[in-house]
Amino acid sequence: MGNTHIRRGFGLKDEIKDTLNQEFQSSLIDKIKASDSQYTDGNTRIKLAKEYGFCYGVDRSIDYAYQAVKKFPDKKIYLTGEIIHNPFVNKRLMDMGVRFLSGQYHKGESKEDIRIEDIVILPAFGVPVSFIEELKQIGCILVDTTCGSVLNVWKHVKRFSNDGYTALIHGKYYHEETIATASQTNVSEEGKYIVVRNFAETERVCDYIRDKGGKKAFLDYFRKAISPGFDPDQDLIKIGVANQTTMLANESLKVAEMVKEAMVDRYGANTIDDHFRSFDTICSATQERQDAIIELLDSGVDLTLVIGGYNSSNTNNLTNIAVRYGLAFHIEDASALLDDEHIRHKIPDSQEIETTTGWLPQGKLTIGITAGASTPDKKIEEVINRVLDLRKGEL
Ligand code: SF4
């Protein structure tokens, strides 16, 4: 049998190019980019972040998925879950006949339905090691679109485990990427991990390292975010810090610093290398989008719209930056702009979707626009057109 674990396309790039352009590209966005990322229509000025939208990992993932559909028109094609966190892209794949094994597009089929002749696409965030092994047992073809930046995190985490360090991952324990990353610690029998979401959770870990916490309370609190059999007395002696690729970059650095300080307090500065390691594994696309929104906000805007899936980690973090500067909303797409009074948007740092009244100021207005790494240009164009439409009275 040939290679069934494929990490590339099928040489069909040219054949799918027009479809991808048609579905995801935008001539308006191209025009705005060519005009120093600005566009003025009457009283409304649109400023687009210099870096926004589709990243290299998402581009590649969609490219491989579309090539797989083209290559195997008569086969059953499965996706383990959302390919990326954008509803439009996932729905397109579903319309093309791709079957989802989990998530909101799941229609009931499971791993047990997969046969040797089927195709399974693995998403940009990757999947847990054990799941890949199970799929390999079936013998089906795996089209693995795991992003290279995620593979880079896995490399560090595997090294931590092999060297006896517990991987402390700054991320969300329920996010697909972090679940897959945490599973990489299993490659070493003794491999351990703990996932911390924010400074407060990091502080809990630091307290325990400094011998200030109770074991039962610690295990209760982190029960969903630790490896099986985790023993904080043993498993916080040597720690390697890594992060989900899409976290807020400065927060991940701070998490690493906090843990290092706690380790120095407990074991002394002289032996710190025996107890602490750290790698910043924020991907360059995330970093660039975060830098670009700060530049955009610093340049002066009255209102910011951040476009992307509500479950997209990097989009949520762009919103977290924007709201610190002023009026900003995380919207999924143009349909969220209900009218010039009402906007449906996600509340930062919560799961709540809310409708807010009076979102669109009158008079001369500069609107900053950015989008998460899984948002197609087409969807950004629709938002801009909708905003301009709602502002028509301001011409
Ligand atoms: S956000 Fe970063 S890690 Fe995720 S797919 Fe894009 S480049 Fe890869």
* pLDDT recorded at residue 327: 97
| Domain match, 126 and 159 both | no
Inter-residue contact 177 to 150 (CB < 8 Å)? yes
Kindly indicate the confidence band of residue 135, based on its pLDDT and cuts at 50, 70 and 90: very high
Helix-, strand-, coil-residue percentages of the chain, each rounded to 5:
45, 20, 35
Any ligand 1 atom below 6 A from CB of 247: no
Give me ligand 1 centre to Cα 361, in Å: 34
Residue with tokens 């589709």: 54
Distance in angstroms (rounded) separating the CA atoms of residues 173 and 152: 19
Ligand 1, atom 7, residue with closest C-alpha: 57
Distance of CA 189 to the CA centre of its chain: 28
Classify strands 38-41 and 44-48 as parallel, antiparallel or unpaired. antiparallel
Given a cut of 80, whether residue 285 has pLDDT beyond it is yes
**Residue that is last in its domain, among 114, 147, 180:** 147
Same domain, 50 and 117: no
CATH number at residue 97: 3.40.50.11270
Question: Which residues lie closer than 8 Å to 147 by C-beta, 6 or more apart?
Answer: 56, 57, 58, 60, 61, 124, 125, 126, 245, 283
In a domain, 118, yes or no: yes
Residue 137 lies in a domain: yes
Query: What integer is the mean pLDDT of 101-114?
Result: 93
Is residue 48 within 8 A of residue 134, CB to CB? The reply is no
Tell whether ligand 1 has an atom less than 6 A from the beta carbon of residue 227. Answer: no
Report which ligand 1 atom has the smallest distance to the Cα of 314.
Answer: 1
The pLDDT value given to residue 2: 64
Q: Verify whether ligand 1 is closer than 6 Å to residue 244 (CB atom).
A: no
Q: What percent of the chain has pLDDT over 70?
A: 98
List, for residues 157-188, the tens digit of each pLDDT value. 999 999 999 999 999 999 999 999 999 998 76
| CA separation for the pair 13, 34 (Å, rounded) | 26
| 292, 370 Cβ separation under 8 angstroms | yes
Distance in Å, CA 283 to ligand 1 centroid: 6
Atom of ligand 1 nearest to the CA of 148: 8
Looking at residue 212, its pLDDT comes to 86
Residue 243 CA to ligand 1 center (angstroms) comes to: 13
CA of 311 to the centre of ligand 1 (A): 14
Could you tell me if residue 1 is inside a domain?
Answer: no
Give pLDDT, residue 394. 58
Cβ count near 68 (within 10 Å): 24
Q: What is the pLDDT confidence band of residue 213, given thresholds at 50, 70 and 90? A: confident
Location of structure tokens 């959770």: 201
What is the arithmetic mean of pLDDT over 31-37?
97
Q: What is the pLDDT of residue 188?
A: 65
**CB-ligand 1 contact for 86 (6 Å cutoff):** no
pLDDT digit string (tens) for 41-85?
999 999 999 999 999 999 999 999 999 999 999 999 999 999 999
Percent over 90 (pLDDT), the chain: 95
Task: State whether the beta carbon of 286 lies less than 6 angstroms from ligand 1.
Answer: yes
Q: Which atom of ligand 1 is nearest to the CA of 61?
A: 5
- If you average pLDDT over residues 100-108, what whole number do you get? 93
- 142 inside domain: yes
Is the predicted pLDDT of residue 317 greater than 60, yes or no? yes
Does residue 143 sit in the same domain as residue 154?
no
Do residues 50 and 63 share a domain? Answer: no
Can you tell me the distance from the alpha carbon of 309 to that of 331, in angstroms, rounded to the nearest whole number?
A: 8
Please check whether residue 5 lies inside any domain of the structure. Answer: no
**Residue 220, domain member (yes or no):** yes
Tell me which of 61, 86, 169, 245 to substitute to probe ligand 1's pocket, judged by most ligand atoms within 8 Å of the beta carbon. 245
Q: Are residues 136 and 190 in the same domain?
A: no
Question: Of 218, 250, 278, which closes a domain?
Answer: 278
Question: Mean pLDDT, to the nearest integer, of 123-145?
Answer: 96
pLDDT at 38: 97
**Mutation choice for ligand 1 from 63, 122, 150, CB with most ligand atoms inside 8 A:** 150
- Record the tokens describing residue 18, joined without a space: 């027009």
Confidence check: pLDDT of 1 > 70? no
CA of 245 to the centre of ligand 1 (A): 7
Range of the domain at 390: 25-55+285-394
Mean pLDDT of 36-40: 97
* 165 and 265 co-located in one domain: yes
Q: Evaluate if residue 395 carries a pLDDT over 80.
A: no
177 is catalytic: yes
The string of pLDDT tens digits covering residues 48-59 is 999 999 999 999
* Residue 281 backbone class (left: φ over 0; alpha: ψ -120 to 50; beta: rest): alpha
Return the sign of the alpha-carbon dihedral for residues 106, 109, 110, 111. negative
For residue 298, what are the contacts with CB-CB under 8 A and spacing of at least 6? none
Query: Is residue 181 within 6 Å of ligand 1 at its C-beta?
Result: no
Atom of ligand 1 nearest to the CA of 84: 5
Residue 325: closest CA among 346, 352, 307, 299: 299
Report the pLDDT value the prediction gives residue 189, as an integer from 0 to 100: 72
Sequence-separated (6 or more) residues with CB below 8 Å from residue 113: none
Q: 220 and 254, same structural domain?
A: yes
CATH number at residue 46: 3.40.1010.20
CA of 55 to the centre of ligand 1 (A): 6
Atom of ligand 1 nearest to the CA of 147: 8
Q: Is the dihedral of CA 24, 25, 26, 32 positive or negative?
A: positive
- Compute the mean pLDDT over every residue in the chain, rounded to the nearest whole number: 95
Q: What atom in ligand 1 is closest to the CA of residue 283?
A: 2
Tell whether 135 and 38 lie within a shared domain: no
Residue of 342, 365, 367 lying closest to 355 (CA atoms):
342
Let me know whether 299 and 383 are in one domain.
yes
Residues 38 and 102 in one domain: no
Domain assignment of residue 357, yes or no: yes
Average pLDDT value for residue range 17-28:
97
pLDDT confidence band for 331 (50 / 70 / 90): very high
Out of 82, 177, 201, 332, which one is annotated catalytic? 177
What was the pLDDT predicted at 17? 97
The CA 317 to ligand 1 mean position distance, Å, reads 14
pLDDT at 107: 92
Site to probe by mutation for ligand 1, drawn from 7, 55, 172 as the one with most ligand atoms within 8 Å of Cβ, is: 55
Q: 96 φ, ψ to 5°? A: -85, 5
Residue 287 reports pLDDT greater than 70 = yes
Do 249 and 157 share a domain, yes or no? Answer: yes
Which residues lie below 8 Å from residue 84, measured CB to CB, with a gap of 6+? Answer: 58, 61, 62, 90, 123, 124, 125, 309, 312, 373, 374
Which of 278, 308, 343 is the endpoint of a domain? 278
Rounded Cα distance between 377 and 384, Å, is 11
Q: Looking up tokens 């089906």, which residue turns up?
A: 140
Q: Could you please report the per-residue DSSP string of 335-391?
A: GGB-SSSEEEEEPTTSS-EEEEES-S--SSEEEEEEE-TT--HHHHHHHHHHHHHHT
> Does 125 lie in the same domain as 96?
yes
Whether ligand 1 lies within 6 angstroms of the CB of 371 is answered as: no
Which residue, judged by its Cα, is nearest atom 2 of ligand 1? 283
* β-sheet with 166-170: strand ranges across: 193-196, 166-170, 239-243, 276-278
Instruction: Report the number of distinct structural domains present in the chain.
Output: 3
Angular region, 135: left φ>0, alpha ψ -120 to 50, beta rest: alpha
Query: How far is it, in rounded angstroms, from Cα 280 to Cα 256?
Result: 9
Q: Ligand 1: distance of its center to the CA of 108 in Å? A: 28
